[in-house]
Every structure is written in C-alpha cells, then in structure tokens.
Structure 1
Amino acid sequence: MPSIVIGLDIGTTSVSAIAIFDDGRPPESVTLQHNATVSGLPNGRAEQDPSKLLNSAVSALQQISAACREADIAAIGVTGQMHSTVLLNQQRRTLRNVITWQDRRSLEPCENGVSPLDELLRAVPSELMDGTGCRLSPGYMGTTLFALQRLNELPQDIHSVSFVADWVASELSGQSPVTDRSHAASSGLFDLQNDGWQPDLLTAACVMPDWLPDVRDSGERIGELTPTMADATGIRAGTPICNAIGDNQASVISSLPSGDDALLINIGTGGQIVWRLPSFERINGMDTRYLPAASRNQEGLFMLVGAGLCGGDAVAWINRTVRQWLSEFGCEVSEADVWMYLNERLTAEALETESITCEPFFGGTRVDPQRRGVFEGVGLHNFTPANIAAGILHGIAESMHAVYVSAEGRRPHPLRTISMAGNGARRNPLLVDAVSRCFGVPVTVSPCQEEAATGAAMLAGVHAGLWPDIDAARQFCIVEDA
C-alpha cells in the first residue's frame, strides 16, 4: 500500500488539500471556496467566519481522503494565510471572527485623531523591530491586537491568540494551539535573531505574553487527529498533525529551485518576490523571514521578501470595474465573459506597445497603505479595457523588478531563472511574459499546483520520514495538467 502525505492550505478565498504519493503517481488535489468572508463590515475591515473556514477544511480533507482510500496517510501538514488573528477563550473557542491580513482597522483614527498604527509606531523605536525582520503594518497580529484595544473591540474574556492555520491544526489535533517561527514573525512581535517573543514590543503593543502560543519547529509533529475529526474526515484517528507554516514559506518550499541564482514571484491575491538568504540580514522596504529547514538535521535559513505588492487583486480589478461600469448602464456581464473578451484582445504586442502605463497599487502597499493606483499615457482613444489590462500586467512586473533592483548587492546575481507561482501567474501567461521581459531572464511557472498546500505536504513528509529532504520530495509533487 502506498503512503501519502496531505497538505492543507487555509487561503484567503479558498481551502485546498493535496495528497502526495511516495510511489511516484501524480498527486490528488481538492480546492473549495470557503465563502467565509464576512460582508457588510465598515470599509477597511476584513474578517472571516471561523466556522466556515473549519468546515471547509474538514470537507477538503474528507474529499481528498476519499480520493486516496487505497493509501496510508502518513501525516497532515498545514499552512495558511499569514498575519491572521484568531481570539480564543479558555475553552479554546473563538471569541469573534478571524481578522485577516487584509484588515486595515489599525489605520482608523481614534478619538485623539491618531490611528492605532501611528500611535504604536511612535512608541516603538525602529531598531526594536530590526530583529523581527519586518515593520509593524496593518493586518499584522501585533498591530491588530493593539488596534482592537484602542478601538474598544477586544473581548474581555480573551485567553489566547492564534494564527488561522495554527488554530485549524489545533482543532484537528485537540491540542492547544502552537506556532512556528514563520507565523510568529508575521505578527511583528517575534525576534528572529534572538528566537523569541520580543518583550519590549509586547509591552508597547499591550499584548500579554501568556496570550501567545509556544513556538516549535516548522512541520514537526504536534499531535494526532482526534476521533471526532477522524469521523468527519474519513482519515484514521491518530494520524500525525504537523506544525503549520506560513503560506509564503510553503510556496517557497514547493516552488523555488535550489541554488543562489533563482528567485520566486508568487501571484496570489497579493504578490511577493522572494529569494533565499544564508543568514539574517535587513534591507529597507523588504521583510526578512524565516525559511524552514530542508531536512530534519539542518538549521532553518532566511529569505528576503518583497511583500504586500500588487498581484491577483490588481488583475481582478479590471474585470470587476468593467462589470461595474456596464451594470450602471443596465448591462449585466459575467466574470467569465469579461475574461474571454480580454484574452481575445490581449496579445504580446499589446504589452510591448505599453500605450498605457500603470502603477496598480489600488489598495496601497504594506509600506504605504495610503498609496493608490496611477495610469499614465492616457490619450483620446487608447483607454480601452485591453490596454488598461495590459498596463496593469506590465505594472505588476515592474513593481517586482523595482524591489529586486533596490536590493543591490544582496540580490541573486547573476540571476539566471525566475519561478512564478500562484493562480495569478498560472492563469495569466501574458503576465509571465511581462516578468520575463522586465528581468531579462527565462521564467517558468511552477509545476506544482496549489503551491502552499504542496509545500506544507512536502515538509510534513520530510518530518514523517517519507523523504530525507525537500529536494527529494519535490520530484513527487508535479500535478499533470488535465
């Protein structure tokens, strides 16, 4: 009987599960829209219903296990949207909706006219954040917890906090939530250099140390599937549950080739550009993040990340805007029809002419949340949907290249190849072409679909003993096109 390892990704819009076999057969995968986003909230709020997230995760596991009944499940790895905030009471029940990385309530002015984020940054010397690898920003757990207190929205019976992937792993195993370094650092409160929660940052953000989860190695076994969850998923009770990792790190594990001459551009809802670092370094405007070890007998590395950049949300903007304009004239057009129209008219030549240029930061950036999109080169006749879309695609590529150039001596050089991952890359070949022309090197789209779930499965498989290291696992992860 073949063995498999399952990777589970709790994403911003969907939940994905993938099963990787140890006998070389193609992986099986399932993706479900979780529809957990809460509507009707004030502008700038981004929340999700935790019960819908958990139910979708259970459904995905049930479906993937049903597709692999003849295999032994060696372990379940988990990943998910970083920076998310889950508030729990003493019984580990959620106290309110999950607050996601897209939340901007920390930018709302308080009674004194100052936003919680500005107040927090004024209280925190910049050098205090150096060891975290990032700057406190909207949507980060540390920022969100401070904002909840300043806006009088923090539940009185809070007992602990968790990241959404860690919380799902906790629900599967019946254990109190723990976390790993990749998630912990995404809070803005964890010192990667000293490998611990930063006490002065906790004080500044008014975060109680006993709220925070223990930090354990990425991908290590943290518990076993409970009988209740076994009944719900069809997976054997006692199946090892592995410590969750951030979705950014999971995508890097599955999609960034070995070596120092490559980088990864991930286009999901947002966009990131990533490359490895052998040791901890800080570069202005980029995050330094933890990268889990490639094998059980190695130490973890680090990676430089240009995060919070424009990505799939910018591509989706043109579709949504076209449909909104038409709707105001009483013409209802489907999302699929708009994509069909654009794909028919978008050509490589349209990208090369660059008749319209665009800075597609419609929702701001992590460094500058108030930044907005800009179109230039608009004439009397060229502001067409296809030209706008072409400008956006080129603008996304340019935003990635600008981050690469700004890193100067700490970037891959010579750069020989770029791997692109995420549905935004897979569904937009002209974006891949734009990136290749911007950087002047070949670009390949990752052969792994559902890259984050795949990375979580690979790491879990290494810790379960299916493979000696990540490189050995990668050869089992290619999904054949339908």
Structure 2
Amino acid sequence: MYVAGIDIGTTSICIIVINSEDGRVIRTVSRVNDSAMPSLEFWERTQNADRIVELVGVLIADCHEDWINVQSIGISCQMHGVLYVNEEGRAVSPLFTWQDGRGDLHFTSGLTYAATLTDWTGYPMHTGFGLVTHFYMTQQDEIPLRAAKLCTIGDYVAMRLCGEAAPFMDRTNAASIGLYSLETGRFAKEKLSDAGMDDSFLPELATNGQLVGETVDGKTVVCAIGDNQASFLGAVPSFKGNLLVNVGTGSQVSVYTPEFIQCPLLNTRPFVDDGYLLVGASLSGGKSYEVLEQFFRAVLGAFAEGDECRLYETMNRLAEEAITISIPPLRVGTQFFGTRENPQSTGFIEGIRADNFNPQQLTAGFLHGILDELVGFTQQFPNPILSKLTRIVASGNGIRHNVAMQRLAQLKWQLPITFGKVKEEAAFGAAIHASVASGLYRNYEVALQRVQRSDTNEA
C-alpha cells in the first residue's frame, strides 16, 4: 500500500511515493517551479497558482502506474504566502510568496506595513506573512473583486485535487501567515478587525490531520502542512534529541518541544501533533552563498573566461582548503537580505589581513557567517532542550552538497551530523503525515519507527 507526499517549494515541486509498510521509496519525481510571474516592482514576488496546479498534475502523470496504488496524499508547501480564491475555489490572484516585499513598504504611519500591523496588534508581523499582504491589499484597495477566501498554495492544491470550493488550513500554515494565537489555536479575528481587515477572508481551520476530501479516483487528500514541519518529520528518526539544520534558499534550525515555549529570537511553531517546533529562521543561507557565487562569476567575466557551471564545486573545494589552514579567518556577516527582526540589516566583511584576503578564506568566511547565525539561534534554546541534543540532522542542498559546511557544523555544535534517509525531506514528511492521518499508523512515533528504519533504501 502506497502513500504520496507532494512538496510545493519556491523553486521546485516534488512528489514522492513510498511504501507505507517500511518507508521504502517507490518513486520520486520533481520539476522546476517555473510559475514565477514578472513584475516591474523590485519588491514583488508572486507565482501563478494555476501553473503550480498544472505542474502537480504533470508530476502525478510522471508517477505512471505507481500512482494507481496510492491510497492517501499528503501535501507540504512553502509557508507564509497566500493567494485569494473565489466562491468556486478558483484562484483570482497570484500567490504572494514568503519573499514578497510589499510589507516593507511604508504606510501612512511612517512605519512599514509590517511594523504598523505589529504596532496595532501586538503580534510580531513580517513582510511575506500572508496577513501582512492582506493588510497591504486592504489598505491599497487591491483585493480582487471576486475574492471570497485567502489560503496557502498547499490549501489550494488540495482543493483542486478534490474538486472542493472552500479551503481548509492546518494550524502549521495558519500560524505562518500571522495573527494566529498559539494559546487558543485560533486566529485573532478581533485584531484583524481593529486593523481594518475583513476576517471573513480567513479560511476554516482544520483539525490535526484533517482530510480535505477525495480525488476522483478515490485517494484521500490530507490538509496541507508547512514545509518546515514536514521537513522535520521527514528528516529525523525521532522527535526528541535531534537538531534539524536546514540550509536551502534560506536557513533555519528546528527542535521539538512537547510544550508551548517562547524564546527570544525564535519562532514557536505548531507541529503536526499537539507539540511545537522552536525555530530560528534566517533569511541567509543558499541565497547568501549565491551572492558570493555571483561575485566570482563577475570577476571571471571581467578578467577571464571560466567554466561557470563549476563555480559552486570550486567554491566548496576552496572552503575545504581554507578550514584546514591556521590563519585568522575573515569574519563575514551574511545578512545580505536583512533579518526578520531588522529587514534593513546588511552584511559585512571584517578582519581582512594580507594573509587571509583570498578566495579560499572568503568562501570559508561566508560559510562561517551562515552557520554562526544559526548557532546564535540555537543558544536561545532552553537548557533542558539544549542539553539533550544528541545529533544534528542536516537537510537542504546547501549543506548536503557542501562537505566544508558539514565539517564546520560539527565543530560549531560539537555534535555528530547525519542526513535524513531521503533527500526530499519535505515530500517524505508529507507522505508520513498522510500515513498517520489516514489511519495507517496510530501515531507519528510508530510511523517513524517503521518508515525511518536504516535498513530501507532511498530511491
């Protein structure tokens, strides 16, 4: 019996089909998410929601005969972003992604839209959060005329797979769009109203593991969950004692807690059970490493012709060389895209000496900077959690393909580093979630014991 996980990422979309008995991967298919929409505004980041639905359909077709045996479908999606749908459940706006910057534009208060909403509601709000976008759209009178509800892209794909007209939103995604109370498990509707927003646009909240409906061929579809939670579920062998370090476009550290805890600089996010993840989320990561790659590309273009396709490979090799040499390292702050708390924050390079101003040390300095921000988040974990960490579980191509970063991570956290059984952690986690929600396993602990066994092989 098979279950499937669909991961709708910012840059790619993936479907994984697994055997629910042992977690063996039957098929993995993926495609570039080419749904990005052009814009004349430098701050705007939108994607075509119906193009994403189309890509999901193409990937399902790519699964061929294996799809026949799929019983249940889980969905993981990029968090924070939203789109508007009409009463028939069809998109009437693009997907405003988590990278959208309209929340950093200035409101009449003199503050940004995000800061104004934070000031008015008392909830920490950042640009890219769905309800910051909704606040901007409300104030600018830009909500589409036929809009009835807002939802995440995962909710939208689930609706379209089942032919439903109204979205359901899991609490993992509800918390990500803002103005959601972790204590009550509800949106703070009175805060929305106080800020001049119509709370009727909010979707109905789903219970943990709620089924959205069935596809035309009888497969149950589980309400979409956030990609951070799905990645944790798909990467770790157990909830406790594992620090998930993800380095992708951005980067983050996540740790499980069964109880509600709040810590400075950390996000407390609802998990798929009744517990929570403590998350330190950085806007840096692969994007900052890309800044360095673009710098080297520009140097090559200015002075010589180089093999541009091998730049990352060369950078990784240079960094490995640098970390074995006893030279005072460059100190690089990689906040080139700001931080959640301070969007205007900038990066820096300091400690430059005659013996360390070279490509090797510069590359290593970038890796140090990316990881140092994550280490800073980890230091905010309560000691009872921090003292019980036994390993790093690494995920994301930014660290999976970078041996130098892996070595530095082990040194900085003083913990052994492992990788999840499956590279597509979020899609795998969505499939595990579907196996529990559909009743194939009675809880997540039992599911992980079966599907994360080391004697099963990745496809």
TM-score (norm 1): 0.88
Is residue 2:217 matched to residue 1:245? no
Letter paired with 2:205:
V
Letter paired with 1:346:
A
Report the counterpart of residue 197 of structure 2 in structure 1: 207
Native 8 Å contact 1:314 1:360 kept in 2: yes
Report the counterpart of residue 119 of structure 2 in structure 1: 122
Native 8 Å contact 1:85 1:98 kept in 2: yes
Native 8 Å contact 1:257 1:419 kept in 2: no
Superposition pairs of residues 350-429 of structure 1, within 5 angstroms:
350=323, 353=327, 355-380=329-354, 382-409=356-383, 411-429=385-403
Superposition pairs of residues 7-406 of structure 1, within 5 angstroms:
7-24=5-22, 25-64=24-63, 66=64, 68=66, 72-110=69-107, 113-125=110-122, 129=123, 135-175=124-164, 176-226=166-216, 237-258=217-238, 260-293=240-273, 300-328=274-302, 331=305, 333-334=307-308, 336-347=309-320, 349-350=322-323, 353=327, 355-380=329-354, 382-406=356-380
Question: Cα distance 1:359–1:480, how it changes in 2: closer, same or farther (>3 A)?
Answer: farther
SS of 1:106's partner is helix
**CA deviation after TM superposition for structure 1 residue 463, in Å:** 1.9
SS of 2:200's partner is helix
Unaligned runs of 5+ in 1: 130-134, 227-236, 294-299
SS of 2:294's partner is helix
Which stretch shifts more, 470-479 or 154-163?
A: 470-479
Output the CA distance in 2 between the equivalents of 1:86 and 1:168.
Answer: 12
Which stretch shifts more, 103-112 or 398-407?
A: 103-112
Question: Cα distance 1:265–1:340, how it changes in 2: closer, same or farther (>3 A)?
Answer: closer
Letter paired with 2:90:
R
**CA deviation after TM superposition for structure 1 residue 441, in Å:** 1.3
SS of 2:386's partner is coil
Report the counterpart of residue 411 of structure 2 in structure 1: 437
| Amino-acid identity (%) | 28
Equivalent pairs counted in the alignment come to 453
Native 8 Å contact 2:229 2:271 kept in 1: yes
SS of 1:406's partner is coil
SS of 2:70's partner is strand
Which stretch shifts more, 418-427 or 199-208?
A: 199-208
Output the CA distance in 1 between the equivalents of 2:399 and 2:277.
Answer: 21
Letter paired with 1:407:
F
Letter paired with 1:143:
V
RMSD: 2.2
Native 8 Å contact 2:89 2:159 kept in 1: no
Question: Cα distance 1:99–1:332, how it changes in 2: closer, same or farther (>3 A)?
Answer: farther
**CA deviation after TM superposition for structure 1 residue 21, in Å:** 0.7
Letter paired with 1:142:
L
Output the CA distance in 2 between the equivalents of 1:31 and 1:469.
Answer: 28
Question: Cα distance 1:330–1:111, how it changes in 2: closer, same or farther (>3 A)?
Answer: farther
Native 8 Å contact 2:316 2:403 kept in 1: no
SS of 1:402's partner is helix
Output the CA distance in 2 between the equivalents of 1:461 and 1:260.
Answer: 21
**CA deviation after TM superposition for structure 1 residue 437, in Å:** 0.3
Render the CA deviation track for 1:82-123: whole Å, top value 9, x for unaligned: 001111223322222110011111111245643212222221
Native 8 Å contact 2:321 2:360 kept in 1: no
Question: Cα distance 1:351–1:256, how it changes in 2: closer, same or farther (>3 A)?
Answer: farther
Render the CA deviation track for 1:336-385: whole Å, top value 9, x for unaligned: 22123223333165366452121111101111111111111223463333
SS of 1:347's partner is helix
Output the CA distance in 1 between the equivalents of 2:328 and 2:161.
Answer: 50
**CA deviation after TM superposition for structure 1 residue 137, in Å:** 0.9
Native 8 Å contact 2:318 2:359 kept in 1: no
Letter paired with 1:268:
G
Native 8 Å contact 2:11 2:33 kept in 1: yes
Question: Cα distance 1:351–1:396, how it changes in 2: closer, same or farther (>3 A)?
Answer: farther
Letter paired with 2:19:
F
Output the CA distance in 1 between the equivalents of 2:271 and 2:215.
Answer: 26
Output the CA distance in 1 between the equivalents of 2:70 and 2:414.
Answer: 43
Letter paired with 2:161:
L
Question: Cα distance 1:53–1:346, how it changes in 2: closer, same or farther (>3 A)?
Answer: same
**CA deviation after TM superposition for structure 1 residue 198, in Å:** 0.9
Native 8 Å contact 1:218 1:244 kept in 2: no
Output the CA distance in 2 between the equivalents of 1:88 and 1:219.
Answer: 23
Output the CA distance in 2 between the equivalents of 1:200 and 1:328.
Answer: 57
Native 8 Å contact 2:121 2:191 kept in 1: yes
Native 8 Å contact 1:116 1:150 kept in 2: no
SS of 1:394's partner is helix
Render the CA deviation track for 1:10-40: whole Å, top value 9, x for unaligned: 0010001101113544342111101112234
**CA deviation after TM superposition for structure 1 residue 447, in Å:** 1.8
TM-score (norm 2): 0.92
Output the CA distance in 1 between the equivalents of 2:349 and 2:359.
Answer: 13
**CA deviation after TM superposition for structure 1 residue 322, in Å:** 1.8
SS of 1:326's partner is helix
Which stretch shifts more, 197-206 or 418-427?
A: 197-206
Native 8 Å contact 2:6 2:430 kept in 1: yes
Question: Cα distance 1:52–1:324, how it changes in 2: closer, same or farther (>3 A)?
Answer: farther
Render the CA deviation track for 1:155-203: whole Å, top value 9, x for unaligned: 2332110011111111111112111110111111221211211123212
Report the counterpart of residue 231 of structure 1 in structure 2: none
Question: Cα distance 1:342–1:180, how it changes in 2: closer, same or farther (>3 A)?
Answer: same
Output the CA distance in 1 between the equivalents of 2:442 and 2:287.
Answer: 37
SS of 2:315's partner is helix
Question: Cα distance 1:319–1:204, how it changes in 2: closer, same or farther (>3 A)?
Answer: farther
